[in-house]
Amino acid sequence: KMSRRGPQEPPHLPALPVIGSLLSLRSPHPPHVHFKELQQKYGQTYSLMMGSHSVIIVNQHTHAKEVLLKKGKTFAGRPRTVTTDILTRDGKDIAFGDYSATWRFHRKIVHGALCMFGEGSASIEKIICAEAQSLCAVLSEAAAAGLALDLSPELTRAVTNVVCSLCFNSTYCRGDPEFEGMLHYSQGIVDTVAKDSLVDIFPWLQIFPNANLHLLKQCVSVRDKLLQKKYDEHKADYSDHVQRDLLDALVRAKRSAENNNTAEISAESVGLSEDHLLMTVGDIFGAGVETTTTVLKWAITYLIHYPQVQRCIQEELDSKVGGDRSPQLSDRGSLPYLEATIREVLRIRPVAPLLIPHVALSDTSIGDFAVRKGTRVIINLWSLHHDEREWRNPELFDPGRFLNSEGTGLTIPSPSYLPFGAGLRVCLGEALAKMELFLFLSWILQRFTLSVPPGHSLPSLEGKFASSVNRQLGDSMPRSFLVKKHQSGSKKSNHGG
Ligand code: HEM
């Protein structure tokens, strides 16, 4: 609703021609933290210039929900950038594709294929459990030998293999050269895109774009060769009767849409080229591996800082699942403390603190503020999740805040909580990611107790922000963990303190 005075301009950071609000944006803190601080001076919603683009920063949940939900369609656009165009063949993917009939249709097909593939999530569950099993086998060896272990590559491989099984029906062993190659190019892409999307946003970073662009093109071409190979293999032995993986499901969905001859649908599906299917799989790797791995690393980092939380989850697992079988998705309802811990990790360390920028597709408003067509909107999830008016002691890690007063059921204590976004652009992998987080953590904690080896200091909870600017995360993960076998039941004193 607009005020009686009519829509006004949001408060604006000082801007100079060409460099935009560059000088006001200098900060030793990562952008999401700095944007939260700027509220003190400019209010919760304010605008600034990034280069020649007008950008609105939203730091509170009512405005965030107006953008994502109430006016979701108006704000469903995405900016085009040099790097995302290279990465996605000019936006033929879902995450960076601008809002259009083709995009809508594309997203619907992929969503359908993910559900269809799941078939009650049974096969996705099987895939994740197979990876959890092999992860636990590695930990078991370390525990038996009493050796400290670097968990980071193990988690990355487990999460990558889930995505590989899901998309291609194939997995990799430790040290497989194709797998190492994939990790290498993924890292290259994450690093350059993170930097460039920031070049676009934060012009002071423009000092290093060109070497990066070259690296990005190299990584993308390696990725594309691999994707093309998998796609060709799938097309060669495609059958309407068997569906081995997501790629089969996509090919099938595309075919059946094309055969469904209503003029309207086929016009849209003509827009859905092979490029779109390839870029979809690229998206799932791009959006699905780094994010989930990082959340797992944060979860484990918090668990070793808060051994009482780890113990509490283990006691819950001992009493609800026991030691004779492995946890499964159907146990989720009876493990509220583990679920609350996952929610709290996603709150306190959101992996995508600024979501992906949205773009206003027409003249509109946010609250009382006028917003012109083409304006970029950044939702600062960091501000929402650390808002002092909404969360008691927001800096404190406290899974209990997501439990009801009896501690028996889950709640969401504030509407200022959107770890996967919301609305038309909500994370497409939310369900998959939650299954992975639940299964990996429950399998590990049922069997093992994690700690830093004696003499090692606890890892930082701040997160590193230096090398690749967009990753506040995970780099602070300790290099070595001591893995001890978890003794359930009467021998609980072994992991008790
Ligand atoms: C988008 C969070 C895992 C696929 C997003 C967005 C967030 C997010 C915040 C942006 C929403 C917006 O721009 O408004 C997360 C978190 C994850 C996770 C916290 C892990 C814990 C995954 C996985 C997949 C995935 C496993 C794989 C299927 C996507 C896609 C988009 C997206 C395709 C773009 C959606 C669009 O633009 O329409 N995610 N994500 N994500 N995510 Fe995830």
Separation CA 83–CA 189 (nearest Å): 9
Q: Report the pLDDT value the prediction gives residue 22, as an integer from 0 to 100.
A: 54
Taking every pair of Cα atoms in the chain, the longest distance, rounded to a whole number of angstroms, is 72
Whether 206 has a pLDDT exceeding 50, the answer reads no
Separation CA 187–CA 294 (nearest Å): 13
Separation CA 435–CA 393 (nearest Å): 28
Burial track 180-205 (b if 16+ CB lie within 10 A, e otherwise): eebeebbebbbbbbbbbbbbbbbbee
Separation CA 159–CA 297 (nearest Å): 12
Residues 251-267: tens digit of each pLDDT? 887 787 777 655 555 55
Separation CA 405–CA 465 (nearest Å): 37
Q: Report the pLDDT value the prediction gives residue 272, as an integer from 0 to 100.
A: 79
Residues 33-69: tens digit of each pLDDT? 888 999 999 999 999 887 778 999 999 999 999 999 9
Residues 65-100: tens digit of each pLDDT? 999 999 999 999 999 887 788 888 988 999 999 999
Centre a 10 Å sphere on the Cβ of residue 290 and count the other Cβ atoms it contains.
24
Answer whether 356 contacts ligand 1 (Cβ < 6 A): yes
Whether 497 has a pLDDT exceeding 70, the answer reads no
Separation CA 251–CA 192 (nearest Å): 30
Q: Report the pLDDT value the prediction gives residue 469, as an integer from 0 to 100.
A: 31
Arithmetic mean of pLDDT, 224-231: 91
Residues 305-330: tens digit of each pLDDT? 999 999 999 999 999 999 999 999 99
Whether 331 has a pLDDT exceeding 90, the answer reads yes
**Residue (of 171, 157, 183, 162) closest to 117 by Cα position:** 162
Q: Report the pLDDT value the prediction gives residue 443, as an integer from 0 to 100.
A: 97
- Collapsing DSSP to helix, strand or coil, 472 comes out as coil
Average pLDDT over the chain reads 84
Beta carbons of 183 and 191 less than 8 angstroms apart: no
- Residue nearest to ligand 1 atom 13, measured at CA: 356
Distance 430 CA to ligand 1 centre (A): 7
Question: Which ligand 1 atom is nearest residue 78's CA?
Answer: 37
Separation CA 454–CA 304 (nearest Å): 13
Residues 6+ apart with CB under 8 A from 398: 344
Q: What percent of the chain has pLDDT over 90?
A: 47
- Residue nearest to ligand 1 atom 38, measured at CA: 425
**Residue (of 450, 268, 424, 285) closest to 359 by Cα position:** 424
Residues annotated as binding site for heme?
427
Answer whether 355 contacts ligand 1 (Cβ < 6 A): yes
Q: Output the DSSP codes for 167-196.
A: HHS----TT-HHHHHHHHHHHHHHHHHHHH
Q: What percent of the chain has pLDDT over 70?
A: 82
Whether 467 has a pLDDT exceeding 50, the answer reads no
Amino acid at 462: E
Q: Which stretch, 183-197, 310-324, 460-474, has highest mean pLDDT?
A: 310-324
Q: Report the pLDDT value the prediction gives residue 195, as an integer from 0 to 100.
A: 57
Arithmetic mean of pLDDT, 431-451: 96
Whether 2 has a pLDDT exceeding 50, the answer reads no
pLDDT band at 466 (very low <50, low <70, confident <90, very high): very low
Of 480 and 31, the one with more pLDDT = 31
Whether 167 has a pLDDT exceeding 60, the answer reads yes
Separation CA 360–CA 75 (nearest Å): 4
Q: Report the pLDDT value the prediction gives residue 458, as an integer from 0 to 100.
A: 80
Answer whether 281 contacts ligand 1 (Cβ < 6 A): no
Answer whether 67 contacts ligand 1 (Cβ < 6 A): no
**Residue (of 158, 280, 292, 183) closest to 227 by Cα position:** 280
Arithmetic mean of pLDDT, 409-415: 96
**pTM: predicted TM-score of the whole model, two decimal places:** 0.90
Tokens of 417: 């909580």
Residue 186: C-alpha distances to residues 156, 190, 220 (Å): 11, 6, 9
Of 326 and 467, the one with more pLDDT = 326
Residue for token pair 């652009």: 425
Dihedral over Cα of 82, 84, 85, 91: its sign: negative
Answer whether 384 contacts ligand 1 (Cβ < 6 A): no
List % helix, strand, coil for the chain (3-state, nearest 5). Answer: 55, 10, 35
ipTM: 0.99
Q: Which stretch, 7-21, 195-209, 216-230, 475-489, has highest mean pLDDT?
A: 216-230
Residues 338-349: tens digit of each pLDDT? 999 999 999 999
DSSP state of 484: E
pLDDT band at 110 (very low <50, low <70, confident <90, very high): confident
Of 125 and 475, the one with more pLDDT = 125
Q: Report the pLDDT value the prediction gives residue 474, as an integer from 0 to 100.
A: 37
Answer whether 427 contacts ligand 1 (Cβ < 6 A): yes
